[in-house]
Every structure is written in C-alpha cells, then in structure tokens.
Structure 1
Amino acid sequence: MAAFPDKPIRIVVPFAPGGGTDAITRTLGVGMANTLGQPVIVDNKPGAGTIIGTDFVAKSAPDGYTLVMATFAHAVNPALQPKLPYDTRKAFAPVALIGASPNVLVVRADSPYKTLADLVAGAKARPGKLSFASQGNGTSAHLAGELFKNLARIDLVHVPYRGAGPAMTDLLGGQVDMMFATAAAAKSFVAAGKMRALAVTTAHRSPAYADVPTMAEAGVPGYAAESWYGLYAAANTPKDVIDRLNAAVRRAVKEAPFVQQTQTEGLDVNVGSPDELDRYVRAEEVRWRKVVQDNHITID
C-alpha cells in the first residue's frame, strides 16, 4: 500500500467562502501541504448550521483524505438538533485542536454603557428591554449572550440575523444594543472608533484586545466562552494517518503566514494531541447542552 498521502487532501469548511473559518483553513492548508508533499484543497460546503459539510465528512472513506474543520457548532448541534444525520461522538476521528479565540462584547461608540457594569445595571433597571444581536440561533454569539444572561441574572432580548454582517450593520444603526462579535469582525470597527469593546469572553485576556478586560474581570464571575477550530477525519481512520496529519498541523501553525493570520483573528493557537481535541469538545458539548436546555433554546 502506498504511503500516506499519495494524492491531494480535502478539508471541508462547512461555511461559505470568505469568513474566518475559511481564511484560517486555507492558510493552514498551505502549511500542511508543505509538510505532506500533496496539495490540500479547501472545499466549502455551507448550510444547515454546518451539518451539510460535516455530514459529508462523516460519510466519507476513513482514509485521511477528507477532513472537516469543525467549530463551536460541532459541539452545540447535538443539543440543538435532536435528529442529526450522524452521531457526533462516533462518526469522527479527532486530528488536532488548532486553537480558540474570544468573542467580544461590543456596543456602539455612542452607547450610554461605558463598561460592562454599566450594561448590567442598565439591563437590571429595564428587564427585557435591551437587545443583543447574533449571526443566528445557536451560534457562538447567541450562546455567549445566553450565558451572559444566566450568570449576570439579567433579561435580554436575542435578535438573530442571517450572518454577522447584517447584525453588525444593525448594531451600528441603533436597532440593537450590543453583540458578542468575533474578535476579527469587531476589530476594525473598534479601531475606527465606531464600536466600544466592553469585555472579551475568554477566561484570559486576548492579545488582540490587550486593554479589554475579560467578562469575569469586568464583573461576571465564572464567565468563559470561546470560538474554536478543530480538525477531524472520518471515524476509523488509521492511527498512523491521524498522527501524520497531526504532525503536519503542528508544523503548519508555526509558519509565518499562519502566525500572521491568527493575529488578525485573535486566535490563541494551542495544537495538542487528537485525544486533547476529543476531551475538549466533549466538555464543550456538556457545558453548552446545559445552557441550551436551561434557556429553552431552539432553532428553526
């Protein structure tokens, strides 16, 4: 049998071209190709909250030639979608956690809320009156807001949009009060003075927002939520193939183009073993299932 790999490798991105996941995957793929000696092709298969692209990989041959770049949705979909076409825990073989990045709680620059404490006080004074935008039901931005409601004991109205762009447009236009935006999406607006960053959602401060406190530092103890990227193959892919892919990821994240891309994304790169990805995502599944159930979250 020929040594792996002896043909191009495909990484499925379950989102449309042009977003953060697409950019990270394309840059990673170039670095992996340098190590593996074969082209790494990015295949965008958006739709159904990442389920279409993810299902494609679940049903692919377990040979390491078809991978999926999983994100936050991979851990949350089992709670949101009781009839997934695959078993998340049994259909995939973990390859590597790439890293994690914060969402950033932002308000308009002219918002009366200068700090997170101001915002919490305002929400308590006007229960059910303040709103937060997201790029859709069940997204990291949505669940970050639901966790905020739970831990701060406030009542906010969730306003879902079809994508981050329209959500941020309405935030700037005054139709909604706040948003848990991705670090990359918010950065240019914050830098231009159009938005104010009140807090980052991760447990530790982000190098991309060094002067912005964490949610916990700013007054919501125990708060932590992050977006992440993890690479999976189909279940039963041979261990030696998984190890080869993992090694290629480890080298790719150290190359200059990827380092530059992660700085733009605010991504904290932390490539570990396949088992580390598996443990991390299983813990995410459990944690967010509780938020989904406690807050009675459903998607259309």
Structure 2
Amino acid sequence: MLFVCLALVLPAGADTYPSRPITVIVPFAAGGPSDAMMRTLAEHMKQTLGQAVLVENVTGAGGSIGVGRAVRSKPDGYTVSFGHLGTHVANGAVYRLGYDLVADLEPVVLLPSNPMIIVSRNNIPAKSLAEFLAWLKAQPGAASAGTAGNGSGSHIAGLYFEQVTGIKLQYVPYRGTGPAMNDLIGGQIDLIVDQTSNAINQVRAGAIRAYAVTDDKRLDGAPEIPTTDEAGLPGFHMTLWSGMWLPKGTDHEIVARLNAAAVAALDDPGVQKQLKNLGLQLPPADQLAPEALGTLQKSEIAKWWPMIKAAGVSPE
C-alpha cells in the first residue's frame, strides 16, 4: 500500500518522458533566423530524445501570441516556447500579455545569439557607415526601417540606433524579419538593423549592403564587415540571444532532459558548423544551465524595459 501511495505523488510521466513528439512553438514566420536555428537544433535533439521534435510557427503581435499558447499549454514537456530578447523580454514592456514572462515560464536553456547588423537596400549611395548616417540625416522624411513587429529584436535595435545617433526612423512592421528582408532586397524599405543570421547570406550574395555589426569583435564568418566601434558608432552593441522555456510547473526532471538534449545538439560539431555559418555565436559552456537563462532574462528586463517604455512603444 505504501508503494502505491508513493507512486501517486510522483510526477506523472517524468520517468517516461518523452513518449510522444514534442512541439516547439517558434513565434515567427517560417524561413526567418529563429526558425532556421530551431529547426537545426530540433533535428539533432530528436536523436537524443528518441522522439520527433516538431517546429510550429505561430506568428502575430510581436511573437506574443505564440508565447502565450505555450504558456497556457499543459506543463508536461510536450509544448516548448522558443524565443529571444524580443519575445521574452521586450514584449512585457509593449503588450498586455495576460501572462508573466518570468513567473509563468520555466527556463530550459540559453541558445545561440548573434549581434545585429546594420544593412540597407543596395541602391542607397552610401558605402560606409559614416556615409550611411549622413544619408539618413539628409532625408526629408524619416527613412523606412523594417521590423518583425513592435517590441521585436529588430525594433529594439532600431530604437537603440535612434537613441545613439539622434536619427529618427519610420518603422514598417512585418510578421517576421524574413518578409522584411524580402522587401529590403526589393528596395521597398531602406534599412533593417537585423539579426546577423537573417541577413548574412543576403550580404554574401550581394543582394543588400552591410555597414557594421553591433559587437566589439568582427564575425568569424564575415571578417570583412567592420564593427560599429571601427565604423564610427562606438558603443552601439546589441546581441540578440535566444532560449527555450516550458510552462511553469513542469517537472524539473523533464526540464533537465530537455536541457540535456539541447546541450548535446549545441556540442555537436556538425550543428556548430551550421549555426556558425548563420553568423551565430554559441553560448559559453558555463551558461547552459536553466538557471543561467533565468538570470539573463531578468537582467535584460531591467536593462531594456525603461528604454522601451520611455520610447512609448505600443502594439501595432
């Protein structure tokens, strides 16, 4: 009888997790940088977990719809929230979410990050960042800047750019930076302060022009692009980190198993090569525990919320 009673209080399903496919909700359009990263990781994670890891793209409201779906799902480890600085930090200062980004989510693992990159359509005459800043200042109306929606990483980067340069931008929101990039290539918008992973292949192909990366060191995969410090905008640094979360209340053993699968993927040389080709930077080994993601998320909320609120950012 004692054994039966103990069995009743053990976490249901934790010992057999996972016994069916896992769904990772990516709150952005398919084909964008977040989607590409998660699909690369999912392909390896299924080998460790012994179950399919499916990516579901749920767009809208700067990613808050997709995150909300994950928050409200059953805390059994089968619905995972993927996101980044925009969805799991900035959105709390922009939207009335109906959920708390810290209290209602369980951190799983910090994922690769990338600096932003300042890029423009090709037919803008500027060839350097200094020339581009001069061109922006000379515009009779604010230049058009694509974003993945209010509060997205590209929008935060644009606000930060405005704050550092004093140049005003006219934001054009999209349902992801993938669609925004298509319009930049087509010359329908002027610029994006974009994730490197979304822009680098188009830069390499000569479809758009790159001016600088928002880091203090050059990219291994594109060493010809200067840093903002080198290009004349010192201190304009911003890294868009990503992560995975589960609904609050998920058993810690399930969190640990999902964390271990993600860490194994990040440790695989083939996966590392794919991620680095996207311009992504792998997280340090000592930052891969769930607690490290939780600490980072809280510190970033303290850093970015005041700027976003001061800018009066509101939902589209």
TM-score, with length taken from structure 1? 0.88
SS of the residue corresponding to residue 10 of structure 1 reads strand
Tell me whether 1:278 sits opposite 2:294 in the alignment: yes
CA distance in 2, matches of 1:218, 1:55: 40
Give the C-alpha shift of residue 76 in structure 1. 0.8
* 2:77 and 2:254 in contact (8 A); partners too: yes
* 1:127 and 1:154 in contact (8 A); partners too: no
The amino acid that maps onto 2:46 is A
Per the alignment, residue 155 of structure 1 pairs with 168
Structure 1: unaligned runs, 5 residues or longer: none
Q: Tell me whether 257-266 or 97-106 shows the greater mean CA deviation.
A: 257-266
Per the alignment, residue 44 of structure 1 pairs with 57
* 2:115 and 2:215 in contact (8 A); partners too: yes
TM-score, with length taken from structure 2? 0.84
Q: How does 1:1-300 map to 2 (within 5 A)?
A: 3-8=15-20, 9-72=22-85, 73-81=87-95, 83-126=96-139, 128-270=141-283, 272-300=288-316
Give the C-alpha shift of residue 144 in structure 1. 0.8
* 2:32 and 2:177 in contact (8 A); partners too: no
Give the C-alpha shift of residue 170 in structure 1. 4.1
Root mean square deviation of aligned Cα: 2.4
What are the superposed Cα offsets for residues 225-260 of structure 1, whole Å, 9 maximum, x if unpaired? 222220111112222322222121111112244223
Give the C-alpha shift of residue 99 in structure 1. 1.4
- CA 1:109–1:68: 2 relative to 1, 3 Å: same
Give the C-alpha shift of residue 189 in structure 1. 2.7
SS of the residue corresponding to residue 97 of structure 1 reads strand
The amino acid that maps onto 1:223 is F
Give the C-alpha shift of residue 80 in structure 1. 0.5
* 2:213 and 2:226 in contact (8 A); partners too: yes
Structure 2: unaligned runs, 5 residues or longer: 1-9
Q: Tell me whether 253-262 or 88-97 shows the greater mean CA deviation.
A: 253-262
The amino acid that maps onto 1:189 is Q
Paired residues in the alignment total: 299
What are the superposed Cα offsets for residues 164-218 of structure 1, whole Å, 9 maximum, x if unpaired? 3553344345444322233233223322323221011234332232221222332
CA distance in 1, matches of 2:145, 2:89: 22
The amino acid that maps onto 1:276 is A
The amino acid that maps onto 1:78 is G
The amino acid that maps onto 2:58 is K
Q: Percent identity?
A: 37
Between structure 1 and structure 2, the one with the greater Rg is 2
Give the C-alpha shift of residue 127 in structure 1. 7.2
CA distance in 2, matches of 1:231, 1:151: 31
* Structure 1 moving runs of 4+ over 6 Å: none
- CA 1:142–1:125: 2 relative to 1, 3 Å: same
- CA 1:153–1:254: 2 relative to 1, 3 Å: same
Give the C-alpha shift of residue 97 in structure 1. 0.4
CA distance in 1, matches of 2:189, 2:242: 28
The amino acid that maps onto 1:92 is L
CA distance in 1, matches of 2:275, 2:264: 15
